[in-house]
């Protein structure tokens, strides 16, 4: 069987008995919407991250959208983020009625460039009412919050962390999701903390902001059937919460296994000619993806497939170059050259925690056999 880049079924199998027991318990209790499992998961997830509040919603995209709404961001406002991200980041900004403005990434982390953020805020201030910035913690590596936060604060911007790929990632011992005003997580099945369907969460240290999120996720209700403002229907499913409570107990161990696999890759591929992922000083990378870079990406991917190693590309087309967005979303003056180069070079190798050492070695052997 080919080595696969992701294996949600394998992760389910690893915890099958506990997951089935949790689902059965939720079914037997008969409270299927915003019941005890969601409440318990919200408390456990907040405690894990070291934040005061967590609020479950229906997806990671909804988490971003509702978080923006909770911050009071909407039509007439502009939000700065990156183009090297899942399209959901930009889609959520537009769902809130705001205008996205895209900045380049730095070469080493492939996450938001603080210099690019500064450039946009200085040069485009006359055309935009900037209200927020969304740094994306990509591939499991946190963005440079130490550089981004001072810029955001200097310009009075709210900071919404996109943590869809950073469950358990850290900077100086502090978890991703605990740096900004608010943060959004996805529990898509292939995430480090994945459900068996869609799911998401919004976390914050501000109880008032959390209360607003809770209203917005359920029609704008403070009391049942009375909408104080137009909200949405975005509730984390009770069954998904039950599954996530099981998986949360294993998140640190599975992240450590990802790090072990990454270390094995780093050692074997150090002289391969590939640009390998590196941890920035003080950060703890949780390797949602192990992403290498090479100008021979497409040829390498085909070669690996012929050797029984399947790979993915995260992401082949930058958001500002996609048909739905090209030509209508403003970018950093001078364009996004690093983003565009990265998108032509990145390749995600298998790194799920269920991989065996022999499978990791198979991937390394295939990579070392490639000749461009």
**How far apart are the C-alpha atoms of 84 and 104, rounded to whole Å?**
8
How does 256-292 read in b/e, with b if 16+ C-beta sit within 10 Å? ebbbebbebbeebbeeeebbebebbeebbbbbbbbbb
Question: Is there a domain that residue 2 lies in?
Answer: no
CA within 13 Å, CB half, 317: 9
Compute CA distances 79 → 20, 119, 275, 314, 357, whole Å.
41, 14, 31, 23, 43
Kindly report the length of the chain: 372
Question: Is there a domain that residue 322 lies in?
Answer: yes
Sequential DSSP letters for 21-53: HHHHHHHHH---BS-HHHHHHHHHHHHHHT-SE
What CATH number is associated with residue 239? 3.40.640.10
Domain range holding 278? 251-369
234 in the same domain as 183:
yes
209 in the same domain as 142:
yes
Structure-block tokens of residue 180: 């900004």
Asked which of 221, 248, 275 is the last residue of a domain, the reply is 248
Q: For residue 95, count CB atoms less than 10 angstroms from its CB and return exposed for 0-12, middle for 13-18, buried for 19 or more.
A: middle
Asked which of 198, 218, 248 is the last residue of a domain, the reply is 248
Asked which of 195, 223, 248 is the last residue of a domain, the reply is 248
Which residue, 127, 160, 80, is CA-closest to 332? 80
User: What is the DSSP secondary structure assignment for residue 180, as one 8-state letter?
Assistant: S
171 in the same domain as 67:
yes
What's the predicted TM-score (pTM) here? 0.98
What CATH number is associated with residue 276? 3.90.1150.10
78 in the same domain as 171:
yes
Structure-block tokens of residue 247: 């998986």
- Dihedral sign from CA coordinates of 326, 331, 335, 336: negative
Residue 1: the pLDDT is: 86
Residue 274: the pLDDT is: 98
pLDDT tens for the chain, 372 residues: list them.
899 999 999 999 999 999 999 999 999 999 999 999 999 999 999 999 999 999 999 999 999 999 999 999 999 999 999 999 999 999 999 999 999 999 999 999 999 999 999 999 999 999 999 999 999 999 999 999 999 999 999 999 999 999 999 999 999 999 999 999 999 999 999 999 999 999 999 999 999 999 999 999 999 999 999 999 999 999 999 999 999 999 999 999 999 999 999 999 999 999 999 999 999 999 999 999 999 999 999 999 999 999 999 999 999 999 999 999 999 999 999 999 999 999 999 999 999 999 999 999 999 999 999 999
Element (DSSP H or E) covering residue 289: none
206 in the same domain as 255:
no
180 in the same domain as 59:
yes
144 in the same domain as 44:
yes
User: What is the DSSP secondary structure assignment for residue 63, as one 8-state letter?
Assistant: H
Residue 120: the pLDDT is: 97
**How far apart are the C-alpha atoms of 316 and 311, rounded to whole Å?**
12
Structure-block tokens of residue 360: 């990791």
User: What is the DSSP secondary structure assignment for residue 89, as one 8-state letter?
Assistant: H
Mapping DSSP to helix (H, G, I), strand (E, B) and coil, where does residue 162 land? Answer: strand
210 in the same domain as 171:
yes
Break the chain down into helix, strand, coil percent, rounded to 5.
40, 20, 40
């Amino acid at each position: 069987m080919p080595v696969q880049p992701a294996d949600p079924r394998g992760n389910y199998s690893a915890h099958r008995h506990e997951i089935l027991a949790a689902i059965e318990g939720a079914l037997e209790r008969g409270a299927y919407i915003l019941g005890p499992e969601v409440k318990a998961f919200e408390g456990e997830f907040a405690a894990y991250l070291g934040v005061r509040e967590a609020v479950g919603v229906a997806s990671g995209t909804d988490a971003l959208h509702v978080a923006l709404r909770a911050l009071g961001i909407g039509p007439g406002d502009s939000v700065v983020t990156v183009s090297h991200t899942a399209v959901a980041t930009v889609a959520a900004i537009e769902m809130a009625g705001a205008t996205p403005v895209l900045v380049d990434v730095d070469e080493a982390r492939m996450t938001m460039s603080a210099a690019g953020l500064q450039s946009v805020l200085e040069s485009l201030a006359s055309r935009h009412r900037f209200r927020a910035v969304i740094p994306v913690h990509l591939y499991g590596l946190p963005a440079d919050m130490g550089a981004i936060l001072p810029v955001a604060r200097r310009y009075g911007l709210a900071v919404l962390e996109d943590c869809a790929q950073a469950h358990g990632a850290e900077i100086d011992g502090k978890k991703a999701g605990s740096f900004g005003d608010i943060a959004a997580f996805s529990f898509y099945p292939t995430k480090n903390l994945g459900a068996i369907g869609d799911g998401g969460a919004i976390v914050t240290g501000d109880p008032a902001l959390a209360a607003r999120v809770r209203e917005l996720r359920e029609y704008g209700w403070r009391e049942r059937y009375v909408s104080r403002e137009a909200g949405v229907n975005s509730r984390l499913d009770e069954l998904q919460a039950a599954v996530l409570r099981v998986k949360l107990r294993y998140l640190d161990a599975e992240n450590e296994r990802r790090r072990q696999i990454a270390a094995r890759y780093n050692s074997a591929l150090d002289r391969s000619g590939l640009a390998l992922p590196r941890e920035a000083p003080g950060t703890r990378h949780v390797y949602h993806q192990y992403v290498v870079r090479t100008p021979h990406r497409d040829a390498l991917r085909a070669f690996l497939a012929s050797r029984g190693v399947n790979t993915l590309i995260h992401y082949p087309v930058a958001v500002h170059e996609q048909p739905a967005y090209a030509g209508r979303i403003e970018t950093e003056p001078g364009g996004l050259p690093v983003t565009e180069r990265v998108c032509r070079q990145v390749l995600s190798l298998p790194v799920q925690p269920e991989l065996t050492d022999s499978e990791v070695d198979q991937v390394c052997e295939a990579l070392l056999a490639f000749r461009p």
